[in-house]
Amino acid sequence: MTTLFSTVQMGSLTLGNRMAMAPMTRNRAPGGTPTPLMAEYYQQRASAGLIITEGAQISEQGVGYPATPGIYNEEQIAGWKAVTDAVHAKGGHIFVQLWHCGRVSHPDFHQGEAPVAPSAIQPEGQAFTYEGLKDFITPRALELEEIDGIIEQYRHAAACAVQAGFDGVEIHSANGYLLDQFLRDGSNSRTDAYGGSIENRARLLLEVTTAVCNEIGADKVGVRISPINAFNDMQDSDPQALFNHVATALSALKPAFLHVVEVSMTGATDSSVDMQQIKQHFDGLYIANGGYDKKRGNTVIADDDADIVAYGIPYLANPDLPERFMQDAALNDADQATFYGGDEHGYTDYPILETI
């Protein structure tokens, strides 16, 4: 029987188990450059079948939070190279998540300029800035002639990821960030080729994915979506139809995986969207994410409802999560006060099982 501990083939990679470490923002990259502490953090978690890093912005324009890493210049490439070398030294596999925050950024990150978005629609909520929480502002709608530049940012970031030694990239099209903003009609009111119909709203994601696949190879590319997540003031009038279309259209590009956040940011589910429909529309590996424990993870794998299960907070607090699951060992509790920013406390100092 296939379980979380079974191997799985992802392109040219043989993953040692079906447990992925989900991307989690940690705000420990001052100046946008990965640090040696980050290398230690990811190396500790190298027993995951696949690590997907925290979001790494694809350009200065993509920045939306303090002390988050980038993947677009030489200094960042060098910083990430230390991370990938550390993970590979322990036999792990690691993808970097490509991130553009879009409208949920703030002028504080852009020399006073408004963040960009598909449409000039102000989201409810607040941005995390270096000076604390500040209300989101009305973003600037991207001009049609700027779209090619956005696609180029993703392509360039993917090329940088290969230089940094990553095994691949995940395109972040979830949780209310730029590509998700284009997908959903609550944030996209454009009347050109990138707005209106589902096909038009999905166009940018597909063009980005095509460019990235052409740059580094489709088997090194995954995409993350979040069909029911309302985080960052997101909504859509027909999410089932939208994300069924996204899954079908992505299949034609043959990326390695589709990573689906099946819950809201609070962990709530929503029966209005059938995630298995989305899976059935995608011809590739399906990564399920959303509050899974060992039992539920093994169940969805055995039932062929997912190929891989991504774990977030459990990996944050348990660097050796696969070993703990295998031994049915107790899990460390996560310290929420240290999730975002800080030093090694709550980052690299969680206890690891004693060697048996």
State whether residue 66 is helix, strand or coil.
coil
Find the catalytic residue in 65, 72, 177, 286: 177
Q: CB-based contacts of 177: which residues, under 8 Å, 6+ apart?
A: 55, 64, 99, 100, 101, 102, 104, 232
Give the span between the Cα atoms of 194 and 197, in whole angstroms: 8
d(C-alpha 356, C-alpha 353), whole Å: 8
Q: Which residue has the tokens 């956040």?
A: 261
Query: Strands 13-15, 8-10: parallel, antiparallel or unpaired by DSSP?
Result: antiparallel
Q: How far apart are CA 288 and CA 22, in angstroms?
A: 10
**Which residue type sits at 105?**
S
Residues 6+ apart with CB under 8 A from 23: 52, 53, 54, 55, 97, 170, 172, 224
Cβ(57)–Cβ(31) below 8 Å: no
**170, 97 contact by CB (below 8 A):** yes
Dihedral Cα 253, 70, 149, 158, nearest 10 deg: -30
Q: Which residues lie closer than 8 Å to 74 by C-beta, 6 or more apart?
A: none
Reference 11, options 115, 167, 151; nearest CA is: 167
Verify whether residue 177 is a known catalytic residue.
yes
Q: Coil, strand or helix: which one is 117?
A: strand
Rounded to the nearest 5°, which phi and psi values hold at 245? -65, -45
Residue type, 79: G
Instruction: List active site positions.
Output: 177
